[in-house]
Amino acid sequence: MIDLKQQELYDWQKHNFPTDHLFLLSKEELVNIILILQVTLGMNEEAGEVAHAVLKGTQGIRGGVNGIDANLVSDGVGDNLIFGQQLLSLLKRDSEKEVAKVIDSVLKRNWVDNRVNGEIEVDG
């Protein structure tokens, strides 16, 4: 049996995030959404594997460099990159261009001089 707060939350979600529009999608559009969801879940699953390897390694439960199994971490990071490329492909984005844009954005940050948000202040 669902308690009152859980039911309130369920009703809130149905109101704020309706799904009626999904019934208007074509079979091809629905399959694409499912593929996007699967790839996104895959990325999260791999991130969990990386986190698990690092957690157990830093707890001294597993072997490797500083206790971290670099092979497990490398495998998880590589799989995550592959899932990321698949996601960008499904969204019709060029992964090399998107990564380059993010790198350019990161390189513009200066956390030493601006601890609040890393943004380099521009005069003017």
Q: Using a CB cutoff of 8 Å and minimum separation of 24, what contacts does 105-110 make?
A: none
State residue 72's pLDDT score: 92
Distance CA 74, CA 80 (A): 10
Chain-centroid distance of CA 99 in Å reads 14
Spans of all domains in the chain: 25-107
The dihedral formed by the CA atoms of 59, 63, 68 and 74, expressed in degrees to the nearest 10: -150
State residue 100's pLDDT score: 97
State residue 2's pLDDT score: 81
State residue 87's pLDDT score: 98
* Amino acid code (one letter) for 49: E
Q: What is the pLDDT along the chain (124 residues), one digit of tens a residue?
A: 789 999 999 999 999 999 999 999 999 999 999 999 999 999 999 999 999 999 988 888 866 667 888 999 999 999 999 999 999 999 999 999 999 999 999 999 999 988 888 887 655 4
Distance CA 97, CA 101 (A): 6
Residues 36 and 86 sit within 8 Å (Cβ to Cβ): no
Q: What is the architecture, at CATH level 2, of domain 25-107?
A: Orthogonal Bundle (1.10)
State residue 122's pLDDT score: 58
State residue 106's pLDDT score: 93
